[in-house]
Amino acid sequence: MFVTDIELKQFRNYEYLKLDSFGPVNLIIGQNAQGKTNLVEAIYALALTKSHRTSKDKELIRFESGSANIRAHVDKKYGKIQLELALSQQGKKAKINGLEQRKLSDFVGSLNVVMFAPEDLEIVKGTPGVRRRFLDMEIGQVAPGYIYHLQQYQKILVQRNNLLKQLYGAGESQQVMLAVWNDQLAEHGVKIVKKRKQFIKKLQKWAETIHEGITGGKEKLELAYVPSFADPMEEDEAVLLDRFMIKLSQTKDQEIRRGMSLTGPHRDDLSFFINGREVQTYGSQGQQRTTALSLKLAEIELIREEIGEYPVLLLDDVLSELDPYRQTQLIETFQSKVQTFITATGIETLNTSKLKDAYIYQVDAGHVER
């Protein structure tokens, strides 16, 4: 998979930008706040229809402009396609080869990317919400149906939480609607949980091998899904549905008292273990960084396994965060097989001896020169 060009209109600090040719490795160099991250963010947004930095689409639209547009051509194994994402105050529209897609979930997966940024270290040491977002974004790329169930689940969750707040102090007769929301929440929730379990199992296979290689066989990395209502290994939907409904029944009084849903995939987590010890709590900073790196490299291989070609790799100010050894491990992984975009404040922060034939772009106040 190869992004051949890109055109931006009113996106972030770019009034207009058109870059006609990218190479296998692209270095985007510039001081902070000049627009280098905005460029890789545009590629990411074109892949997933949302930013990796903000949940507010309006922040992607240039100041005092009403809309923004991203357009690019992507070479895939079955031919070249044109992708376009338009953002406005009214929402967003996505097109493939000029044809507007009825649902954004039909568009996601047309371009596959793996993003690695300094904040991705939070996947290991951050909050459960960060890890859930990691799972949701990555699964959504290879399983579009997952996005639909996630969106439905989130809508139902809001309605159910509103109802729970109203039920505090109310009688049993007013709880009839709660059973309706329970059925719908569980219907979509079990599909999310099942897909997460399947994804983590595949990610474990690749991450374990990659981590072992990085550490010279000294460390074994294990991933563990931590669901809020079921056995971590259970994948049968009927069993999951039954367990979910039982848990909802058990926590009903507590949920009404607190006015929020306490069970479901929105409360799940992902744990990491090195040689049997939990990395979040007991791992050194080096082990946490290596775990995050192993996860990202595993993502690349997992996506290739799922769709039959490598994704595009986006490295946003992350190489300078890694020591020379981990830099080399990362570069040797993508060299010659994965198209890569690397942002940095200067060439001197990169192991350029390992970056062959890289295209270099200089970014200054929203202007880009090769």
Say if residues 32 and 48 touch (Cβ distance below 8 Å): no
The CA–CA distances, whole Å, from 20 to 5, 17, 73, 196, 298 equal 5, 10, 10, 38, 30
33 is in an annotated binding site: yes
37 is in an annotated binding site: yes
State the Cα–Cα distance between residues 127 and 269, nearest whole angstrom: 9
66 is in an annotated binding site: no
179 is in an annotated binding site: no
Strand partners, 278: 273
103 is in an annotated binding site: no
Say if residues 4 and 80 touch (Cβ distance below 8 Å): yes
32 is in an annotated binding site: yes
Long-range Cβ contacts of 60-63 (<8 Å, 24+ apart): 60/11, 60/12, 60/87, 61/10, 61/11, 61/87, 61/88, 61/89, 62/10, 62/11, 62/12, 62/13, 62/14, 62/15
Say if residues 75 and 1 touch (Cβ distance below 8 Å): yes
35 is in an annotated binding site: yes
Which DSSP symbol is given to 309?
Answer: S
State the Cα–Cα distance between residues 194 and 362, nearest whole angstrom: 45
Can you tell me which residue has the tokens 């922040």?
Answer: 59
User: Quick one: how far is CA 6 from the chain centroid?
Assistant: 21
Based on its alpha-carbon atoms, the radius of gyration of the chain, rounded to whole angstroms, reads: 22
The torsion angle over the Cα atoms of residues 306, 308, 309 and 315, rounded to 10 degrees, is 10
98 is in an annotated binding site: no
Q: Which residues are annotated as a binding site?
A: 30-37
Q: Which residues are annotated as a binding site for ATP?
A: 30-37
